[in-house]
Amino acid sequence: MMSPVYGLIYILLAPIAGGLVAGIDRKITARMQGRVGPPLLQPFYDVGKLFEKENLVVTRSQDLYALCYLVFMLVAGALFFAGGDLLLVIFAFTLSHIFLVLGAYASSSPYSFIGAERELIQIIAYEPMIILSAVGMYMVTASFFVSDIVVSSIPIVLYLPGVFIGFLMVLTIKLRKSPFDLSTSHHAHQEIVKGVTTEFTGPNLGKIEIAHWYEYVFLLGFIFLFFAFSIPIALLAIAVAYLLEILIDNTFSRVKWQFTLRSAWIIAGMLGLINLAVLYYLSGGLQA
């Protein structure tokens, strides 16, 4: 029951939506800090400019890795919106980040090395929770296919409150928000310059930026699944979740990677696992 049309719509419209989300994010952040902030379309200007710049690379393989990051992010999101298998989506999603890490490792710069290592740690931190979310959705709807999950009338979030909280937590990591903006950050240039993206210039950085926009839309789409029974509630939940992320971003300072890993696994993992165990017990095992 996959519909490639939605995948295509995602490929065409997600950069616009993602860029707008990034613009709103910067605007609200500025207002929270008592500033006027950049124009709403600033992220588009930034990326437009990056493509006007010279492409300086340490090795040519960086071009390939940046492109692969974008392409696999596109594949993951398109599969998701086309209603594909959640596990496959998560696999492509992780793979795209591996390419980003490889790109950072390819340039022998200490800052991008630190960034790459931290990015790997972040992947380790959020990966279990994302898989748990997929498993939870399977337990509730008896399907790994997004197309089935999205049409089910069961209020998934009521069955998976722990998983949802855990997912919100890894969302902070995924959106590169404080306190978990370890691998690359707009605020950390005193210590790691730009982390993973340090050695990417001009068009390559532009591609990474666009991949981030795709990622934003994909992640917000994942929140949608929890509330798929009612579209207005789902949209409201997405807006509230994102505002919460901006608020968290502006109120917390960056933590160490040890804390990131521990909190992501212990808090999110335990909430998720207990949630799934209770669900399993109440439903008397898997009926499917």
Partner 1 sequence: MTYLKRSPWIIHYDASSCNGCDIEVLACLTPMYDVERFGIVNTGNPKHADIFVVTGSINEQNREVVKNIYEQMPDPKVVVAVGICAASGGVFRECYNVTGGIDKIIPVDVYVPGCAARPESIIDGIVKSLSILEEKRTKMNTPAAKKDALGGGIQ
Residues near partner 1 (CB under 8 A) are: 26, 30, 33-39, 42, 44-49, 52-56, 186, 189-190, 193-194, 197-202, 205
Identity of the residue, 91 or 254, whose beta carbon is nearer to partner 1 in the bound complex: 254
The structure tokens listed for 230 are: 């009612």
Identity of the residue, 96 or 112, whose beta carbon is nearer to partner 1 in the bound complex: 112
Residue type, 248: I
Q: Are 177 and 248 in contact (CB under 8 A)?
A: yes
Identity of the residue, 203 or 221, whose beta carbon is nearer to partner 1 in the bound complex: 203
CA geometry: angle 284, 224, 45, nearest 5 deg = 155
Q: How many CA atoms lie within 13 A of 210 on its CB side?
A: 25
| Smallest gap from residue 25 Cβ to partner 1 (A) | 13
| Smallest gap from residue 142 Cβ to partner 1 (A) | 48
CB within 8 Å of 23: residues ≥ 6 apart: 38, 39, 40, 41, 42, 43, 44
Identity of the residue, 47 or 264, whose beta carbon is nearer to partner 1 in the bound complex: 47
| Smallest gap from residue 47 Cβ to partner 1 (A) | 8
Q: Are 151 and 6 in contact (CB under 8 A)?
A: no
| Smallest gap from residue 171 Cβ to partner 1 (A) | 24
| Distance between start and end Cα atoms, the chain | 19
| Smallest gap from residue 105 Cβ to partner 1 (A) | 16
Identity of the residue, 200 or 226, whose beta carbon is nearer to partner 1 in the bound complex: 200
The structure tokens listed for 28 are: 């609200």
